[in-house]
Amino acid sequence: SQKIEQNSEALNIQEGKTATLTCNYTNYSPAYLQWYRQDPGRGPVFLLLIRENEKEKRKERLKVTFDTTLKQSLFHITASQPADSATYLCALISGTYKYIFGTGTRLKVLA
Amino acid sequence: DADVTQTPRNRITKTGKRIMLECSQTKGHDRMYWYRQDPGLGLQLIYYSFDVKDINKGEISDGYSVSRQAQAKFSLSLESAIPNQTALYFCATSDHRDRGGETQYFGPGTRLLVL
């Protein structure tokens, strides 16, 4: 069956360090992979998209990698800040409409 | 995102009642979606609509119905609410012309409790 896995355990890191979140998938051939941020009680907000033919994408302190051989995406936040604390969701876009969301990883950046 | 609004934001209802959740958008997007989010399960697609005349079932459509009254409005109905429909419901929009890969824009959510 098709599956997306994100680490369900919360990730705690010290301020200033790099946070790395993982998204693994099976039985998909996604055209795109997206990362969203979700704060408690609010809707997800789009952060970054990476296409299947791209290895890496950057936006300010954010970096996403996409390895279609390993079927894995890594999401990095460099120089992390307490304001980065949130749940981060990965989403695969496969086919015309099919958005498949992971369950999210909760990140807590400690001051 | 203020461009996508949902009403009500919170709702408590009783088993067997019919309720409607409403979504409006000012982004001019053609595609709209309804999701539910449960702890540990992530976002699950209930229904999606690519335009006013196109409505499709998602993964978990049983017990739900939708209406696309206009390009900007997409409502979700629970015909006879049951407790396991207690969840956080999100509306989202996207634009098929988005060459950036059809980013989804989410509303603030409706928290529904069925007693």
- The confidence band for A96, taking pLDDT boundaries of 50, 70 and 90, is low
CB B42 within 8 A of CB A87: no
β-pairing verdict for B10-13 and B110-114 = parallel
What is the pLDDT averaged over residues B106-113?
96
Task: Give chain A's mean pLDDT.
Answer: 91
Contact A35, A56 (CB under 8 A): no
Residue pair B77/B18 in contact by the 8 Å Cβ criterion: yes
- Averaged pLDDT for residues B43-71: 94
Q: What is the mean pLDDT of chain B?
A: 93
Per-residue pLDDT at A105 exceeds 60: yes
Percent of chain B with pLDDT over 70: 96
Q: What is the DSSP letter of A18?
A: P
Does A89 touch chain B if contact means CB atoms closer than 8 Å?
Answer: yes
Tokens for A40?
């408690």
Handedness of CA B51, B109, A76, A101 (dihedral sign): negative
Interface test with B, best of A24, A48, A73, A103 (most B CBs within 10 A): A103
Q: Alpha-carbon torsion A97, A103, A108, B3, what sign?
A: positive
Quote the pLDDT of residue B114.
97
Best of A4, A92, A99, A105 to disrupt the B interface (most B CBs within 10 Å) is A99
Integer Cα distance of A83 and B104 in angstroms: 23
Predicted local distance difference test score (pLDDT) of residue A1? 61
pLDDT attached to residue B96: 82
Q: What mean pLDDT do residues A12-31 have?
A: 91
Do A8 and A89 form a contact (C-beta atoms < 8 A)?
A: no
pLDDT of residue A93: 80
What single string gives the DSSP state of each residue in B6-70? EE-SEEEE-TT--EEEEEEE-S--SEEEEEEEETTTEEEEEEEEEETTEEEE-TT-TTEEEEEEE
Residue B100 has pLDDT above 80, yes or no: no
